[in-house]
Amino acid sequence: MPLAAPNPASVVPGSYITGALWNANVYNGLTFLTNRPVFVGQQQVVQSVANTAWAVLTFDTEIVDSYGGHSTVSNTSRYTCQLAGWYRVGGRAAFAVNSAGSRGARIHLNGSYIQGAANLCGAGNLTGIVEVSHLMYLNVGDYIEVAGGQNCGAALSTVFANEGASMMYAIWEHA
C-alpha cells in the first residue's frame, strides 16, 4: 500500500505528547520506513540485442513492487516513480555465452541514458553479466530503464539460465 513520506509535526517546549503528535513523529515515520518504495524486476523471457546497439531490457516478472510503479503488460521495461525522492537504481544485463566483443549495461531516465551510469566489460567463455547502479533523484512520473548493449559481431540474446538473468531494481533512499 503506497504511503506518503511523513512530515514530522512541529512542537514547542512544553508540548504534551498526544496521540496525534506520536503518530506524526514516530508511528508514521517508522511505518513508512518499513514500507518504502521498492521494486525488483527480472527478465525470464529472453530478448535479442542487435550488434553494436543498446536495447532497453524488458522485465516480465516482478519479485517485489511495493508502490505499483511497474507493469508486466505495458511498458515492461519501465519502473515509474510513485513517490519523489532519492533512489538507488540498478540493474543487470545478462547475455548468452559468446567469446567475441564486449557487453554493457546502463541506466536510462525518461528515455535518455544517464552519463556515468554505465558499465562495460569484455566477454569471455562464460555468460556475459554486467551490473550497473546509480543514486539519482526521481520525481513522480519519471521512469527508469536498464539497457543492455553488445558488439560480438551479430545479434546476441539475453539469458535466463543458471545464475544468469537480467534484472532491474529501484529502492527509495531519502526524500
Tens-level pLDDT at each residue, the chain (175 residues): 577 787 777 777 877 778 877 777 777 788 888 899 999 999 999 999 999 999 999 999 999 999 999 999 999 999 999 999 999 999 999 999 888 888 999 999 999 999 888 888 876 555 578 899 999 999 999 999 999 999 999 999 999 987 789 999 999 999 8
Tell me which residue range forms the domain holding 30.
Answer: 1-35
Residue 109 · residue 89 · CB < 8 Å: no
Q: Among all chains, which residue has been given the C-alpha cell 538473468?
A: 165
- Pair (12, 60) in one structural domain: no
Distance CA 35, CA 150 (A): 37
- Pair (108, 150) in one structural domain: yes
Structural domains of the chain, count: 2
> How many residues can be counted in the chain?
175
- Pair (124, 98) in one structural domain: yes
- Pair (106, 152) in one structural domain: yes
Nine-digit cell string for 100 = 567475441
Nine-digit cell string for 84 = 519523489
- Pair (47, 121) in one structural domain: yes
